[in-house]
Copies of this chain bind each other. A is one copy, B any other.
Amino acid sequence: MLKLTKKADYGLMALKYLAEHPETPALSAKDVADAYGIPAQLLAKILQRLTKTGLLRSQAGINGGYALARDARQISAYEVILAIDGPFFITSCTKGAHGCELTPSCTIKEPLARVNETIAGVLKSISIHDLVEQEHPPQGGDKKGLVSLTV
């Protein structure tokens, strides 16, 4: 539990793959899907979603496909997950307009909202480029870590 959906996983994998192939002008959904052995049509839908939210640029027609809309460093894991899975909250009820149904239950949620922000912060601090980097894990100053934040 508390896990990403497969769709978000696929999306991240695909973006990483695109980031790893900057030379090619565009890769089709099928290309990426085959590379990872995931359902092509499903990936297609995901990439379409990412395109609509501006993370990818697409090109129809022969030799068409997708490419990152920005530098891999400028795309955070947070944006990807948000685009695919929609806004997430660790609490079941959003403390938006309507409040919570269960009478006093929201008392739990307020402190957990901070947890939520922390998670979002971590996710925002990780870029697609970081994912590429990590594949060949740094041997030297490994300990310095990837993330540092205070809430």
Chain A contact residues, CB within 8 Å of chain B: 1-6, 8-9, 12-13, 16, 35-38, 77, 81, 85-86, 88-92, 102-105, 107-108, 110-112, 114-115, 118-119, 122-123, 126, 130-131, 134-135, 137, 145-151
Contacts and interface: CB of A to CB of B under 8 A. Distances in A.
A36 B110 contact: no
B114 A38 contact: no
B148 A151 contact: yes
Number of copies of this chain that the complex holds? 2
Contacts of A9: 91-92, 105, 108
B111 A134 contact: yes
A78 B75 CA distance: 30
Contact of A1 (B36, B85, B105): B85
A150 B151 contact: no
Given A119-B2, A119-B119, A119-B122, A36 B105 contact: yes
Contacts of A137: 110
